[in-house]
A and B are shown apart, each in its own frame.
Chain A
Amino acid sequence: MTTIALADSATMLRRNLKHMLRYPSMTLFMIVMPVLFMLLFVYVLGGTVGPDGTDGTVGHAGRAAYATFITPGIIALTAVAASTSTAVSVASDMTGGIVARFRTMPIARVSILAGHVGGAVIQTVLGMVAVTAIALITGFRATTSAPNWIAAAAILILFATALTWLSVALGLAAKTVEAASNAPTPLIVLPFLGSGFVPTHSMPTAIRWFAEYQPFTPVINTMRGLLTGGAIGNNAAIAIGWSLAIMAGGYLWARKLFGRDPVQA
C-alpha cells in the first residue's frame, strides 16, 4: 500500500512539475511581491529607518545593514506568496474533470494532494533562491558557514512544507478559485507583525506579545541567527514545533476535505 502511495505520489509530482514548466509565469509571479517589498523597504525606507543588521538595536545603520536585517523576513514572505499560488492551483485543479477521474481510479488518494505539495515546495524553494539572489544584489550580506546555510535551508523547507499543506487545505475549502486566491492573504501581515522588518522589542505591548508568540517570528529569528550571526536560543526548537504543528493540522484538514464527496458540478 505504501509503495503504491509513493509511486502514485511521484507520478502526481511529475504531473505538477510539468504544469510548472509549461507555465513558468506562476513561479515568476510568486517572487514579484517579496522582491517589491525588498526594494521598497531597502531603497525607500532603508535610508532613514531600520535597525542595525546584527544585534537588532534600534537606530539607523544604513541601507545595506537594513537589507541584511529584513532578508529573512522577505524570504518568509516568499513562502506566503507561494501559498496563494498553491491554493489557487489546488482549487482550479479540483474544478477540472481530471480529479474526478482520479477519484474513480484505484490509486492512493493522498497522492493527488502529495503531488501538489511536492510541486509547490519545489516551486517555493526556487522562488526563495531567486529572492535570496536579489537580496544579495540589494546589499544582504551573510556572515556564515556552509553548514549554517544548509541548516537555514532545512528550516525554511520545513516551514514552507507546513504552509503548503495549509494552503492545500485552504484551496480545497474554497468554493471558487477566486476565494482560494484570497484565503492565504491574511498571512502576508505576519512577517510584519513579527520580527521580519523591525525588532519586536520596539513594538507596543499588545502587538509585541502577538509578534513574539506567532510562528513567523521564531522562523525569522532562527534564519537571522544562522545567516548573520547572533543568538538563536530556543527559536529553532519553537520554529520546528510550529512547522510540525501547522503541517499536521494542514494535512489532516486537507485529507478530511478531500475525503468528502465532491460537490455536484
Chain B
Amino acid sequence: MAPPTPQASAAIAVTGLRKFYGEHLVLDGIDLAVEPGTVFALLGPNGAGKTTMVQILSTLIHADGGEAALAGYDLNRQPARVREVIGVTGQYSAIDKLLTGRENLTLMADLYHLDRAAAKARTDELLERFDLTDVAGKLATTYSGGMQRKLDLAMTLVSDPRIIFLDEPSTGLDPRSRRTMWQMVKDLTRNGITIFLTTQYLEEADQLADQIALLDHGKLIARGTPDELKRMIPGGHIRLRFTDVSTLRKARAIIARPGRADEEPLILEVPTDGSVAELRGILTHLDDNGIDVAELTVHTPDLDDVFLTLTSN
C-alpha cells in the first residue's frame, strides 16, 4: 500500500509520524492526507493509538518524529497558528462541570476575544442549535452524558474552526444520542469543515466518513472509502458451533478458509461473502464429510471481521 502524497492543499497532511511512550512505540510512521471539507475516520480497537494521534495533531502532546501540517501550518513550528484553526472534542468531556452550560460557552467566547454582543449571539445560537437552551442555566455536572457531549461540541464550535477533531464522539452514548451526534456531525460537513474522527465502530465510520484508515498497533493497515473497505470484508462470517472438540478440528481441517477457532465454546468462525450459494456450499461440504453442526449464526461485518480478514492475509 503506497502512502498518499501529502499535498499543500490538504487540510491535514501527515508524514512519518512516530510516538513513543517509554520503550513502547505507539505510532509507527503514520502517513495520511485529508482533503478539505471531508470527513476522515481513524478506525481501530482500544489501544491502537487513535487518541494519541488526535492528541498530537491537536497540539496537546509532541510527536517523537515526523511532520504534519494543518491548514498549511506546520505542527512543530507553528503550533499557535494551528490552534487558531482547530477545534477538539475529546473522548472525555472537555467541559467545566462546575459552570453552567451557558457559562461554559461564554468562557470559550471570552477566550476567543469575541465582544460582548457577539459572544451573547453566538452562545444563544449554539444553545438553540444543540437543544440546550432549557438547561443553559444548570450546572454541567447535572447534564446527562449525551448533553455533556453536545455542550462539548458546541464549545468546540464557538470559534468557527476549520478543522475539528472528534475523539470517539459517540463512545458511552445511548443509541438515540449516538444518532443525534451523527446528525450533528453530518450537518457540520455542509459548512465545509474538515473532520478528523476516531472510532471503534465500523458503523459509525460507515455513516460519517469519506475516507477511513484502519489503525492497529500504531500502524495504518488499510485505508480507503467505506465501500472499498467493505469489499475487503465481503460478507462478514458465519459462526459454527459443534458438540465436541474432535468434530471442530475435523471441520477446521476440511474447510477451505477457516477463521478463528475457539475450543472452549466449540466455535469455528468462517469468513464468507454472505451469499446463500457460499453458505450452502460450506454446509453441504460439512454434511458430505459427516460433520454435524449444532448451531449456525450469521454475522454481519464488524471491526473484528476487518481485522480477521486483514490480518489473516
A binding-site residues for B, Cβ under 8 Å: 4, 7-8, 11, 14-15, 18-19, 22-23, 96-98, 100-107, 261-262, 264-265
**B111 and A105 form a contact (CB under 8 A):** yes
**B88 and A264 form a contact (CB under 8 A):** no
Q: B113 on the interface (CB 8 Å rule)?
A: yes
Question: For B90, what are the chain A residues with a Cβ–Cβ distance below 8 Å?
Answer: 97, 100-101
Q: How far is the CA of A265 from the CA of B52 in the complex (A)?
A: 10
Within 8 A of A (CB), among B95-112: 95-99, 103, 107, 110-112
A-B contact pairs, 25 of them (CB 8 A): A4-B113, A11-B110, A14-B110, A15-B96, A18-B98, A22-B98, A96-B94, A96-B96, A97-B92, A97-B94, A100-B90, A101-B88, A101-B155, A103-B59, A104-B59, A104-B60, A104-B86, A105-B112, A105-B159, A106-B83, A261-B62, A262-B60, A262-B61, A264-B61, A265-B51
In chain A, what residue has the closest Cβ to B83? A106
Main SS class of interface, A: helix
Question: For A104, what are the chain B residues with a Cβ–Cβ distance below 8 Å?
Answer: 58-60, 83, 86, 88
B binding-site residues for A, Cβ under 8 Å: 21, 51-52, 55, 58-62, 80, 83-84, 86, 88, 90, 92-99, 103, 107, 110-113, 139, 152, 155, 159
**B107 and A15 form a contact (CB under 8 A):** yes
CB distance from A122 to the nearest CB of B (A): 17
Q: How far is the CA of A105 from the CA of B88 in the complex (A)?
A: 9
In chain A, what residue has the closest Cβ to B159? A105
**B94 and A15 form a contact (CB under 8 A):** no
Q: How far is the CA of A262 from the CA of B56 in the complex (A)?
A: 11
CB distance from A86 to the nearest CB of B (A): 16
Question: For B110, what are the chain A residues with a Cβ–Cβ distance below 8 Å?
Answer: 7, 11, 14
Contact of A106 among B52, B84, B103 (CB under 8 A): B84
Question: For B107, what are the chain A residues with a Cβ–Cβ distance below 8 Å?
Answer: 11, 15
Question: For B97, what are the chain A residues with a Cβ–Cβ distance below 8 Å?
Answer: 96
CB distance from B95 to the nearest CB of A (A): 6
Question: For B52, what are the chain A residues with a Cβ–Cβ distance below 8 Å?
Answer: 264
In chain A, what residue has the closest Cβ to B99? A18
Are A261 and B113 also in contact (CB < 8 A) when A96-B97, A97-B94 are?
no
Top-8 shortest CB links A-B: A97-B94, A101-B94, A261-B61, A106-B83, A11-B110, A97-B92, A104-B58, A106-B84
Q: How far is the CA of A175 from the CA of B111 in the complex (A)?
A: 28
Question: For B84, what are the chain A residues with a Cβ–Cβ distance below 8 Å?
Answer: 106
CB distance from B195 to the nearest CB of A (A): 15
